[in-house]
Structure 1
């Protein structure tokens, strides 16, 4: 049986998702969405690499 998240964790998750969405909207308005996507991909790749390195 899956463990249930407490309400604070659920709220944090929703707020972070909303902030990410608002950042995407702002990037589209400013015409910098390509830069944002590239940075997000680079961050994910770096995180994965560091995760494997310090496993």
Structure 2
């Protein structure tokens, strides 16, 4: 289980770094929109292949 914890931490750090980068470039809206679209698509596909 240790490798899973490390992976989770690394992905969390990458997410934060991506947010910081988006703020620097002024593209926060685009990033938020893509995140919302991705979550919606994931939920839809999850229901389809349940």
TM-align CA RMSD: 0.3
In the TM superposition, structure 1's runs of 4+ consecutive aligned residues that sit over 4 Å from their partners are none
What SS class does the counterpart of residue 35 from structure 1 fall into?
helix
Tell me which structure has the larger Cα radius of gyration: 1
Q: Which runs of 5+ in 2 are unaligned?
A: none
Q: How many residues align?
A: 50
**Which residue is equivalent to 2:3?**
8
Q: Which runs of 5+ in 1 are unaligned?
A: 1-5
The one of 30, 34, 42 aligned to 2:29: 34
> As a proportion of its length, which structure holds more helix?
2
